[in-house]
Amino acid sequence: MPEMLIGGEWRQAAAREELEVVNPATEDVVASVPAGAPEDVELAIATAKRAFAQWSRTDVETRAGILTKAAELIHAHARELAATLTSEQGKPLAEAIGEVNHLAHGVRYYAEAATKVRGAYQELPATLGPAYGMVIRRPMGVCAAITPYNFPLTLLGTKVAPALAGGNTVVAKPAATTPLATLEVARLFAEAGVPDGVVNVVTGRGSQIGDALVSHPDVRRVAFTGSTA
């Protein structure tokens, strides 16, 4: 049974409950994943918060290099990822391959953008002498990435990749019906060199896990798209 990822460790849910993943075309059970609960969310957020201290100070070119490696691995495993996506979500294989390639492209895009992030400096009028305004872009902390069933990998990439590029850590929550490809992508991020705790994936039912994520005081930003049933 695939396991969820918390702090670099592949693990079962705290309650040891499972959630079946069903192929919508055949109605066969293709796998089971842990049915996470709020205590699993709490652990994932605490782990991501600890990992933030180191990741946010990691040199931006190092972060960009890791993301580039992740994009390469996703592209290299495109057919396997697409087959998994088709089995759990039901879109034609050709469309699934297109979604995986879109994910790889997005991760590579944000890898390249990571080194281009700049602040701003603006001189300001003042009666008391020279004055200026400055915008400094800094990592925010732990980000929640809640993704839907219809484009689980495309929308995962548009949330996780920019968060990592900016020095943030992530707790991802895929839709209960389509968690398998997300878990495989998380494994590839780890293989690419993303440190333990920087990317975490909690699987489970939408409302229970999603509510625990969005209401947590240590989650600095929530990226949500569509249904997570």
pLDDT in tens, 35-91: 999 999 999 999 999 999 999 999 999 999 999 999 999 999 999 999 999 999 999
This prediction has a pTM of: 0.91
- Residue 223 · residue 143 · CB < 8 Å: yes
Confidence of residue 228 (pLDDT cuts 50, 70, 90): very low
- Residue 32 · residue 20 · CB < 8 Å: yes
Average pLDDT, the chain: 93
Q: Which amino acid is at 9?
A: E
Rounded CA gap, 123 and 129, in Å? 11
Using the predicted structure, report yes or no on whether residue 130 has a pLDDT greater than 50. Answer: yes
Rounded CA gap, 180 and 2, in Å? 8
Using the predicted structure, report yes or no on whether residue 128 has a pLDDT greater than 50. Answer: yes
Handedness of CA 20, 182, 37, 3 (dihedral sign): positive
Q: What is the mean pLDDT of residues 17-25?
A: 95
User: Helix, strand, or coil here: 18?
Assistant: strand
CB atoms within 10 A of CB 27: 7
- Report pLDDT digits (tens) over 135-169: 888 899 999 999 999 999 999 999 999 999 999 99
In sequence order, the 6+-apart residues with CB closer than 8 A to the CB of 211 are none
142: left (phi over 0), alpha (psi -120 to 50) or beta: beta
